[in-house]
Structure 1
């Protein structure tokens, strides 16, 4: 593999039909990769395929919370070079939250990434890479997300463990931990007013004084895929959220 390029490589993105995943797909295509994007919504996948407008794009309907679907998905797509796993849907709440809320981020964010890696490994090329996604809440939690902070921290620890475990196979593993990013999704079921309030609050919480763009987070993902000397690292495209 030639460092610093994705030319002639195959990138798999679970959660690639919108947000950071879609922005990563676009940048990977610009670098000459072919891209496989998977997601739960057939309509969003069709829209993403039309938007990307490339014969190097494949789309698959997939519920990444279903391990049997994950296993069949990787069997279907075959060999590839890089895996990115931004797809997640969860509800955040304080320690007093009900059981469903407390467990939602682990069920929808941690375990889907864990099992995606497990089922992907037989098809991932040596010298390839894995990029997981956590969130800056792991390092600077607020008052309404105990389990969410723990989940993001667990994903970052998983990235380090995978970097060590997969080093003999020359497979690298890293994590992107973004701050708040403008996307169509914020919290599951949240109305636009709630999202806007979150975005506005975030501008006062970081050094740069603004919310991030999906393309900026995607640029970090592409770096982690292309820099062949980076593994076991968590990068924070967060506008300086951790410094405030």
Structure 2
């Protein structure tokens, strides 16, 4: 399979790329690194990325930004950071990507535990993750030519404990191999319209 992975150099992206590269052709994409670069908040940048990659069997996005802060300190524009980047960025990957995905191909998006179990200062991020879940379930009903779509929603991952542990009191970190298996399930399996939840 020819698999494009956005966020291939990130904490989770590296492990997912290494696992899928064992048997498949991986095209790593980053915002400022990788064979191809993309700004997912810019639909023109997404279009250029797909023009460079050509036809694909799978698109995996393990990227997306959202603002974390106290609700009372979040401005309207702060909310738009996540809406434009992590939410609409991934929506546009699908909207544009269907023209480059081979029949039977798949999209795997990334949301996160905050959609179901938000923590302090994550109102904006939780909003975006919840929107992604609704989008995946709805658009899966309309994709044609055997195309599939899923979202992987992981709890705090082991490799990000140092950075995020204080935000997630009481959350048991998820082993990285379990997170990778969630992405493998979406890409290599047959689920469609699923939110693949990864918890310890």
3-state SS of the aligned residue for 2:128?
Answer: helix
Are 1:128 and 2:105 counterparts?
Answer: yes
Are 1:221 and 2:183 counterparts?
Answer: yes
Deviations 1:193-228 (A, max 9, x none): xx2xx32563623xxx3x224432121101111112
Tell whether the 8 Å contact from 1:19 to 1:214 is kept in structure 2 after alignment: no
3-state SS of the aligned residue for 2:5?
Answer: strand
Counterpart pick for 1:92 among 48, 64, 68:
68
Quick one: distance in 1 between partners of 2:120 and 2:10? 28
Residue number in structure 1 paired with 2:195: 234
Quick one: distance in 2 between partners of 1:132 and 1:80? 15
Deviations 1:127-167 (A, max 9, x none): 1111111111111122322222111010011111121011x
Deviation, structure 1 residue 178: 0.6
Which stretch of the first structure deviates more once superposed, 92-101 or 146-155? 92-101
Which stretch of the first structure deviates more once superposed, 112-121 or 90-99? 90-99
**TM-score with structure 1 setting the length:** 0.75
Quick one: distance in 2 between partners of 1:181 and 1:101? 25
Which stretch of the first structure deviates more once superposed, 138-147 or 10-19? 138-147
Give the unaligned 5+ runs of structure 2.
Answer: none
Tell whether the 8 Å contact from 1:159 to 1:173 is kept in structure 2 after alignment: yes
Quick one: distance in 2 between partners of 1:70 and 1:214? 28
Residue number in structure 2 paired with 1:64: 40
Are 1:28 and 2:36 counterparts?
Answer: no
**TM-score with structure 2 setting the length:** 0.91
Are 1:38 and 2:29 counterparts?
Answer: yes
3-state SS of the aligned residue for 2:140?
Answer: helix
Are 1:204 and 2:170 counterparts?
Answer: yes
**Count of equivalent residues:** 199
Tell whether the 8 Å contact from 1:93 to 1:101 is kept in structure 2 after alignment: no
Tell whether the 8 Å contact from 2:67 to 2:124 is kept in structure 1 after alignment: no
Quick one: distance in 2 between partners of 1:162 and 1:20? 25
Deviation, structure 1 residue 182: 3.8
